[in-house]
Chains A and B, each alone.
Chain A
Amino acid sequence: MENSEEPKIPEQHDPSRRSFLKIGTGVIGGFATLILAVPFLDALLSQSLRIKIGKFVNAGPVSSISGNNPQKVFFDERDRDAYIEEVERRDVWALKHGENNVTVFSPICPHLGCRYNWHPERDEFICPCHGSVFAKDGKVLHGPAPRSLDTLPTKIENGELYVKWERFKLGVPKKIVV
């Protein structure tokens, strides 16, 4: 600092050296960014894209489901919302064909994720959000929903119904687990 007043010795103004320095600065900066950007983006993304594998949970005896109409069946499942461990209430629609044959629908409208309802007087499921209509067997009749209601994996053991809770990609014609 003291000798700032003294005559300066000019740095080399060799053009090739200068362009080397420019490119070098860019490369260093680029790599520094990259080395941080990849992990930082990964922290936001891969956590989100991880598929959670559900397990079969007891949803009560098959005998308590009536045979005529789809019926809401509730069951509780311990679940984790990120770091919050909680008992989550699941609500699914069950349609019984026989003691050993039950179809279980996810309660989530395959259109954009609202909760549809059963309307017994019309024998149809109707979603309040954009008015999608589904038949008793889950087939989409009209409305914006791109596919039929999503069935959930089930199994029946000793007269008890077990359901595996899953979520599917919304708004697309194919049923893809997410």
Chain B
Amino acid sequence: MLSNIQEWINDRWPVKEVWKAATEEEIPGGSSYAYVFGSATLFLFLLQIVTGVWQIFYYVPTTDHAYQSLSYLRISVPFGWLIHGLHYWGATVMVILVAVHLSRVYIWGGYKKPRELTWLLGVFLLLFTMAMSFTGAALPWDETGYWASEVGTSIAGTTPMLGNIAESLLRGGAKMGQLTLSRFFILHVAIIPAILLAFIALHLVAFRKKGSVGPWEESKRKRSGSFWPDQVFKDAFFFTIILLALIALAAFLAPPFSGPADPIDTTFQPKPEWNFLFLYQAIKAFQGPWEPVGTIGIPTVLFAFLFLLPFFDKNPERSPRKRPIAMLIGLVIAGGITTLTISGYYSHPGAKQNGATVAAASSKPGKTASVETVVAKQPELPPLSPAQKAGAEKGAKVFATMGCTACHTVNGVGGHVGPDLSGEGLKAHSIAWLMAQIRNPKSHDPKTVMPPFTMLSNVQVGELVDYLTSLRSKPVPAAAPSTSVAAKTPQARPANVRVVQLPSDVGEPGLAASMIGNVEHGKKLFDANCASCHGVEGKGGVPNPGSYLGTVPALNPVRPELFSKDPAVFADNLDRFIENGAAPPGPSPQKAMAPMSMVGYGKTQSLTQQEISNIIAYVMSLNGVNRAKILHPGIAPKTFFFLALGIFIVLWLILGTLRLVSSQGKTDTSADSEKK
């Protein structure tokens, strides 16, 4: 019955011939583990197709949904971590396998006549694999991918002649945006994979036509083995190891969440995917007009070398010992790429300069001293105009409500983080200086902890300046313990009034609540924007004398009403405050002073939603909650790995014993079967 069906099909479609062409091959010297890398690459490519397709069930290629949809797949979809992890690490391992395969063929002299075309097609495959890696990196639309693509497409744009067209063809416009993402997507999921499949087919047909190259020693070539099943078994065994390694990577080294792409971010230090790091390093060596030598020249020369290799190295000798020049060139290239990659991995151009300069700046004491001398030289200050007085009155309110009193004391009331401002008007700072100090304090002192008050309107800043110039009394000596104790004592509070606001009191969360931020990036932003009020690492303790609580709430640990073990709920609670701001309850503003309040960083656009998402991730990490926690793993990653490991070990053991038993049983006939 079965054979009838087989015959029927074979009559109409040449299954047998195709199978024969695909599998029947004698390998000179027999099968070997040295030959597994090509087929492992093929297996891995097929796995990439499967994991890639599975990701598209969830992934949406739009700038406003790409990051969140991928995050959703990774943490909320059962086994999403596995699907994405395999794809992410599979891409890395695939590049390595291609490189090893290429090196193996290079050492064996497999590119020589008559296999030149197989080699050429292989070099094309390397090129397209790199293209897959480049286009794939952009798709999450996270910081890493966004900036790598920004720089990468710009490099393409510097190519002489065709650069402009190549760049705008890739980007779909002058800037990175939705059209860029759409183009990278279609290239990554359809166009390049189709080309890869076609070239793999061509590569394999060319390979079959001329067969395996085998060992270079004549003596070893006498034996021979067959591709199917001898070599294929070794290939399959090797691939199970690769698969296990990938599962281990996905389980133990989950791809990082670098935070949603933020095009106006100046703190992120973009680096390309690791397989482009050698180029990234090379760019630095070639500066100015020589730059295209690094960006375009090096890859061109490398690929030209690979393409032309079979045509200038026509010596039929294949033994590496008798090809010293070829071996030397290969070693230099491989060594060069490896060194550049490693040094690229460890280089931080921006950071190094920062560290050095901060140290240099701190050794320069001059600034405050010069201000004092200016004060001494200006005995007579012009009296305030009526308009200035009116402004100063309004400014006093702004000063009290926008959080200035937390750090600055005026006439004995306020915090001591910043300088006492009671005599600010005597210092004769210019209006522009004061405005700059409020809007951008770092422009005067790069190490200041004062946050930039960019959320104030110009009118408000003007009023603050009027208020500050009106302050002309001598500062009360800072060592007045009674006032600071009084300031820290919570104000008496009516029984029906809450001490703090609940998340639901302040308003709806913004988009940031749904984005998974990056903790390290969040720490930088927290230090610059939040630490001055909420304390270093959110430890709190900064006085807020006008409020019932008496201090600015600590965020580490955060108040129990805000905390939740569920990362989504926790993020939501935090974002309600960061988005909308908060005004902690206190006695009426007319009395003594109003409590300082928090501005809505999201609402006022003082921070971008992406930045806020990073801060949320950081604050959550301070409280021991991982924003990127996997909510529905299916099976917990580590358990899954050990499960897979166990299954494979059992499988290998069974196969091993079977083989032992069968070889013992057939010792007499083995020579016979080997021949077949």
Q: Give the B-binding residues of A (Cβ under 8 A).
A: 44-45, 47-52, 60-61, 63-72, 74, 76, 81-84, 89, 91, 96, 107, 112-122, 126-131, 142-144, 146, 167, 169-173, 178
Residues of A within 8 A of B454 (CB): 74
State A176–B442 Cα separation when bound (angstroms).
32
Q: How far is it, in angstroms, between the C-alpha of A68 and the C-alpha of B437 when the chains are bound?
A: 11
**Cα distance, A42 to B608, chains bound together (Å):** 36
- Residue of B154, B357, B608 near A121 (CB, 8 A) is B357
Q: How far in angstroms is the closest Cβ of chain B from A99?
A: 10
Q: Which residues does B use to contact A, with CB under 8 Å?
A: 63-64, 147, 150-151, 154-155, 157-158, 164-165, 168-169, 171-175, 177-179, 264-270, 283-284, 286-289, 291, 295, 349-351, 353-354, 357-358, 360-361, 364, 430-433, 435-437, 439-440, 442-446, 454, 458, 461, 605, 608
Which residue of A83, A120, A172 is within 8 Å of B446 (Cβ)?
A120
For B269, give its contact among A44, A82, A129 (CB under 8 Å).
A129
Task: Known contacts A45-B169, A89-B608; decide if A171 and B291 are in contact (CB<8 Å).
Answer: yes
The answer to whether B436 touches A66, judged by C-beta atoms less than 8 angstroms apart, is yes
Complex: chain B residue closest to A47, CB-CB: B172
The DSSP consensus for interface residues of chain B is helix
Sample 24 A-B pairs with CB under 8 A, ordered by A number.
A45-B168, A48-B173, A48-B179, A66-B440, A67-B430, A69-B436, A69-B444, A82-B173, A91-B264, A114-B151, A116-B266, A119-B353, A120-B442, A120-B444, A128-B349, A131-B284, A131-B349, A131-B350, A142-B287, A167-B174, A171-B291, A172-B158, A178-B168, A178-B174
Q: Which of B173, B435, B605 contacts A64 (CB 8 A)?
A: B435
Partner of A66, one of B64, B175, B433: B433
CB neighbours of B437 from chain A (8 A) = 66
In the bound assembly, the distance between CA atoms of A81 and B62 in angstroms comes to 11
Q: Would A121 and B443 count as touching, CB distance under 8 A?
A: no
Q: How far is the CA of A120 from the CA of B268 in the complex (A)?
A: 19
Q: How far is the CA of A167 from the CA of B177 in the complex (A)?
A: 14
Smallest distance from the beta carbon of B180 to chain A beta carbons, Å? 9
Instruction: Compute how far the CA of A66 lies from the CA of B431 in the bound complex, rounded to whole angstroms.
Output: 9
B residues in contact with A45, CB < 8 Å: 165, 168-169
Closest Cβ neighbor of A177 among chain B residues: B174
Q: Give A140 Cβ to nearest chain B Cβ, in Å.
A: 9
Contacts of A48 in B (CB 8 A): 168-169, 171-173, 179
For the complex formed, measure the closest distance between the CB of B22 and the CB atoms of chain A, giving whole angstroms.
Answer: 32
Among B154, B168, B353, point to the contact of A171 (Cβ < 8 A): B154
Contact yes or no, A131 B150, CB < 8 A? no
11 additional A-B pairs beyond A68-B436, A178-B168, beta carbons within 8 Å, are A45-B168, A60-B458, A64-B461, A66-B443, A84-B64, A89-B608, A116-B266, A119-B446, A122-B360, A142-B287, A167-B175
